[in-house]
Amino acid sequence: MIDVIDRIRDIVGDSRIFPEESLKNYTTFRIGGKCRALVMPSTKEEIIKVVSLLRETKTNFFVMGNGSNLLVSDEGFDGIVVSLKFFKGIEVLEEDDKTFTVRVMAGELMSSVGNYLARQGVEGFEFATGIPGTIGGGVRMNAGAYGGELKDILVNITAIAEDNTVATLSNEELELSYRTSILAKKNYICLDACFKLNKGDSLDIKAKIKEYANSRKEKQPLNYPSAGSTFKRPEGYIAAKLIDEAGLKGLQVGGAKVSEKHAGFVVNVGGATAKDVIELTDKVKEVVKEKNGVSLELEVVKLGF
């Protein structure tokens, strides 16, 4: 592992690799142990070289965006974490009176992209502007909110395939569906994404973004660390409603708690461990299954378990 870390250092430089780094402060849950090394490539070439090296040396690794949908084990992750937080950029590919096409690097935050597009008077991305993730992570799970999903506006992406070649995948080839895509199934890594949107009125677009932000503030427990919606939506049901009806709002294990504001969120009210979260979510799944006959599935990605 030391040899691999040294070889990665040759690719990205000393200032972008951190051996034995705690992942707690790199996730929105503020939970988790150390990884063998955290590496932060800043160019497409660096990412491809790092990923190719890790695959060729059969080194365990994980690619992270904003860590907003991630629960890291208390024992950490016995491998390399590749963070794309420095891989940013927005390129306008085509623009006319009605449409606006952009290519966005995987490390860009969806909030930054949404606000950029609003300033340009481009509509269609408002729903994603409040999602606290990156474009790469958003595409991988087909992020959505307020009736919109990335698949509605996505043209294609560039990704590193399993054989380390760079491939372009169309919207159809990505097989985007509820909180999943072919990227997750085939272990592809998104490098950038192309979106085609429509021109609109900048003031109206900004007003809609503000409306969604106010709605989130009113309904979601944004004052506590969390990984967003904890459970996927079961077909025909709403997870938060099932949890609420089961009387589980406020249920707490250690520092992990089912939010009293929104039952779909498990929050870190102080000093929560991954063990607390797993114990709590297992209990929620058990009670909901017992009372409603519905099996809840975690939306949060687990690392190091």
- CA distance to 116, 121, 151, 176, per residue, from 142 (Å): 20, 24, 6, 6
Q: Which of 21, 108, 126, 299 is catalytic?
A: 299
- H/E segment holding residue 18: strand 17-19
Q: Which of 21, 179, 181, 226 is catalytic?
A: 179
**DSSP structure string for 44-89:** HHHHHHHHHHHHHTT--EEEESS-TTEEE-TT-EEEEEEE-TT---
Residue 179 a catalytic site member: yes
Q: What are the CA-CA distances from residue 136 to residues 19, 194, 233, 263, 304 (Å)?
A: 24, 11, 22, 27, 21
Our answer to whether residue 108 is catalytic in this structure is no
Q: Cα–Cα distance between 270 and 189 in angstroms, integer? A: 33
What is d(CA 69, CA 67) in angstroms, rounded to the nearest whole number?
6
State yes or no: is 55 an active-site residue: no
Quick one: tokens of 263? Answer: 């039952």
- One-letter amino acid at 5 equals I
Contact 153, 169 (CB under 8 A): no
Which residue numbers are catalytic? 179, 229, 299
